[in-house]
Amino acid sequence: LFSVVMSIVLYASARLRYSIPSPYLASPGSSGIWVYDFFMGHELNPRLGKLDLKQFCELRPGLIGWAVINASCALKEYRETGHVSNSMWLVNIFQLIYVVDALWFERAILTTMDITTDGFGFMLVFGDLAWVPFTYSLQARYLVAFKAGKDLPLPVVIWIVFVKAVGMAIFRGANGQKNKFRTNPNDPAVKHLKTLPTERGTQLLISGWWGIARHVNYFGDWVMAWSWCLPCGFDHIIPYFYAIYFAGLLIHREMRDEHACKIKYGKDWDKYCKKVPYHIVPFIY
């Protein structure tokens, strides 16, 4: 309800203060179709004084709320059984690492599509404030409801930790490399990487993590998603909703990225795609 009210206020405020075209309006949310613009977000970076509402809501309330709900589920399991299962520990620790990582590297979101391109409308408002904390905590809620106090065998725990480590290495390695290259191409950590010069005067990475796939960070993110679901076992598909939904989300986002980059770089993007042929998953897609 709060997300709906906030989205209405943001849309009405933007319509009253700005007219198309305006540098303060988001291109995707300036179609002239009010329902679509309301959903996508009409204003690019609405502010409350000096507070950038989109940047604040992108990480802080939803991610912290998600971690709090997870911790509450672990506490409920302890109160009911006198024991916190290793599966609950895995879910809490893995997802807390993800939350802390996002908050620690918060500056990196400034180069993401959510910040640079999308407006702050119902899609992001609801996603940040409601969808993230109450959907992403599904595994912890499932465990406390159906598997409270039940531990996983040690070999299974080791395997799940391995999956998490692989996903985290890809995700953080790719994002860190991209961020360093964008902020300082002469940094020793990225200076050696091969690039493709563009007519815009910029360069596209064609080696390192970004020579493996054009959105290899999405692949790492998806691998981590599986490590969050696996502690729940295979008794029901519900805990795997996140991994399934997230695959669709990442493919949709990748398609939007590809479309935007095609417009931005033109023929140079076609050259880049030939050098880096895979979208997300190396050798598969």
For the cut 80, the answer to whether the pLDDT of residue 86 exceeds it is: yes
**For the segment 189-243, what is each residue's pLDDT rounded down to a tens digit?**
888 889 888 888 888 888 999 999 999 999 999 999 999 999 999 999 999 999 9
**Model's pTM, two decimal places?**
0.82
Question: By percentage, how much of the chain surpasses pLDDT 90?
Answer: 54
> How far is the CA of 94 from the CAs of 70, 75, 274, 278, in angstroms?
11, 17, 36, 28
Average pLDDT over residues 114-128: 88
Average pLDDT over residues 149-178: 93
**For the segment 2-22, what is each residue's pLDDT rounded down to a tens digit?**
899 999 999 898 888 877 778
pLDDT category at 155 given cuts 50, 70, 90 is very high
How far is it, in rounded angstroms, from Cα 74 to Cα 61?
20
The candidate with the shortest Cα–Cα distance to 215, out of 180, 266, 249, is 249
How far is it, in rounded angstroms, from Cα 141 to Cα 110?
32
How far is it, in rounded angstroms, from Cα 51 to Cα 47?
5
Residue 153 has what DSSP assignment?
P
